[in-house]
């Protein structure tokens, strides 16, 4: 009996050592992933200076979610303090990191997910923005280069022990990094299937999956990201209500932290209508394919 207990104790002690060593090793691997530099060649885009392009860029910062994470005035915010990370969306104005960026480094951060120091930008959805056209990226950068400086000192992004362990594995640290060249062109914004397809397959597909067929969420605890073909069959009123207030036809209130309807609410009616017209084609398109 006593020897049996002794052996059991030794086995438990050995298991604890294995777990501690594995955690330590994983945290080292994670730290190396976080610090890894990614080389990305970007073709410089011509940055316009006319007021119409700058105004379009400001609108894009609203509808593509920059304001949701980096704040309405883009001066940044701590998005969450609890758990494995302190998640800080940096101050993008000239008083913050914006002061150190030029056209090329802006583009590398936005469409390739790589910061000025070459490391991967965590949570920043560059995997979506990689599908942005040169013309839209140029307008967005033109706007970012004209925003007023806003002083807002923020504590830096921080990976705690569990954050580093997670960064060793399927955390999706690389989800946003895109080293390949950008190729998309953008149709005129408006109530057309073509424009809806452009925005849908760029922004919405990042979570709803390619072809918007639905996908598992990658945020732990977030609801399943549904197929968008059913929403294409909603009435125009139901669709615009859901994408401006977060309330679906069944009365379900969507959390803007998991479904960014605050961004779609900033679209013009015609831009959202383009999305609706595109989603309305999904059911037929899939039927034709199968
Ligand atoms: C879902 C939230 C989210 C959205 C949407 C988002 N960002 Fe970010 N962004 C972040 C976070 C978090 C970081 C910090 C990442 C890091 O340091 O690993 C970041 C980093 C950046 C950086 C690098 C800053 C630095 O430290 O060098 C730039 C530039 C940037 N974002 C621009 C934008 C622009 C422009 C948009 C809109 C087109 C945008 N972001 C949309 C969350 C977001
Ligand atoms: C950051 C991830 C994310 C992005 C980006 C995103 N969605 Fe969603 N979406 C979700 C999640 C998660 C849900 C489920 C929310 C819930 O059940 O509360 C959802 C739900 C929806 C619904 C409700 C569907 C239903 O049948 O109830 C619609 C409509 C929708 N999204 C449209 C869009 C459109 C259009 C875009 C692109 C402009 C988009 N979403 C981009 C995550 C996302």
Q: Indicate the pTM of the whole model.
A: 0.93
The answer to whether residue 7 scores a pLDDT higher than 90 is no
Is the CB of residue 66 below 6 angstroms from any atom belonging to ligand 1?
Answer: yes
- Whole-angstrom distance, CA of residue 37 vs CA of residue 26: 19
Q: How confident is the model at residue 77, as a pLDDT? A: 97
- φ and ψ at 272, to 5 degrees? -65, -35
CA of 274, nearest ligand number: 2
**Which numbered ligand comes closest to the C-alpha of 91?**
1
pLDDT at residue 220 is higher than 80 = no
Write the residue with the smallest CA distance to atom 29 of ligand 1.
109
Q: Which residue has the higher pLDDT, 276 or 33?
A: 276
Model confidence at 162: pLDDT above 90 = no
pLDDT at 112 over 90: yes
DSSP, residue by residue, 23-58: HHHHHHHHHHHHH-B-----PPPPPP-SHHHHHHHH
Distance 197 CA to ligand 1 centre (A): 24
Collect all residues with Cβ–Cβ distance below 8 Å to 257 and sequence separation of at least 6.
Answer: none
Q: Is the pLDDT of residue 172 over 80?
A: no
**Predicted confidence band at 173 (pLDDT cuts at 50, 70, 90)?**
low
For each of the domains in the chain, give its residue range(s) and CATH number, in order of start.
Answer: 51-167 (1.10.760), 193-289 (1.10.760)
**Euclidean distance between CA atoms 196 and 267, whole angstroms:** 12
Portion of the chain with pLDDT greater than 90, in percent = 70
Give Cβ neighbours of residue 107 (< 8 Å, ≥ 6 apart).
42, 44, 45, 137, 141
Instruction: Provide the pLDDT for residue 234.
Output: 98
- Dump pLDDT digits (tens) for 234-246: 999 999 999 999 9
Which residue minimizes the CA distance to atom 43 of ligand 2?
Answer: 259
Instruction: Inform me whether the pLDDT recorded for 175 exceeds 80.
Output: no
Smallest Cα–Cα separation from 144: which of 187, 87, 91?
91
Query: pLDDT tens, 52-91?
Result: 999 999 999 999 999 999 999 999 999 999 888 899 999 9
Cβ of residue 116 lying under 6 Å from some atom of ligand 1: yes
């Amino acid at each position: 009996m006593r020897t049996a207990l002794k052996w059991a104790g030794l086995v438990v002690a050995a298991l604890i050592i294995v777990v501690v060593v594995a955690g330590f090793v994983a945290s080292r691997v994670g730290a190396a992933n976080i610090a890894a530099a990614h080389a990305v060649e970007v073709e410089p885009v011509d940055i316009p200076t006319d007021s119409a392009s700058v105004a379009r860029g400001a609108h894009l910062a609203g509808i593509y979610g920059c304001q949701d994470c980096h704040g309405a005035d883009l001066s940044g915010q701590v998005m969450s303090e609890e758990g494995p990370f302190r998640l800080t969306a940096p101050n993008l104005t000239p008083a913050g990191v914006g002061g150190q960026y030029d056209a090329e480094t802006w583009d590398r951060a936005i469409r390739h997910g790589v910061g000025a120091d070459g490391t991967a930008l965590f949570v920043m959805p560059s995997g979506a923005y990689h599908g942005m056209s040169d013309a839209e990226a140029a307008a967005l950068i033109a706007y970012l280069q004209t925003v007023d400086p806003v002083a807002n000192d923020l504590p830096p992004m921080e990976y705690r022990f569990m954050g580093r362990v997670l960064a060793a594995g399927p955390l999706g640290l690389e989800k946003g990094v895109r080293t390949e060249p950008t190729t998309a062109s953008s149709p005129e914004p408006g109530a057309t299937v073509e424009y809806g397809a452009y925005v849908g397959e760029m922004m919405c597909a990042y979570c709803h999956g390619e072809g918007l067929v639905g996908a598992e969420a990658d945020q732990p605890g977030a609801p399943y990201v549904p197929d968008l073909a059913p929403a294409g069959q909603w009435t125009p009123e139901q669709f615009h209500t859901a994408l401006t207030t977060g309330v679906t036809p069944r009365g379900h209130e969507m959390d803007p932290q998991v479904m960014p309807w605050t961004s779609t609410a900033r679209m013009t009616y015609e831009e959202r209508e383009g999305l609706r017209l595109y989603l309305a084609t999904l059911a037929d398109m899939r039927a034709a394919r199968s």
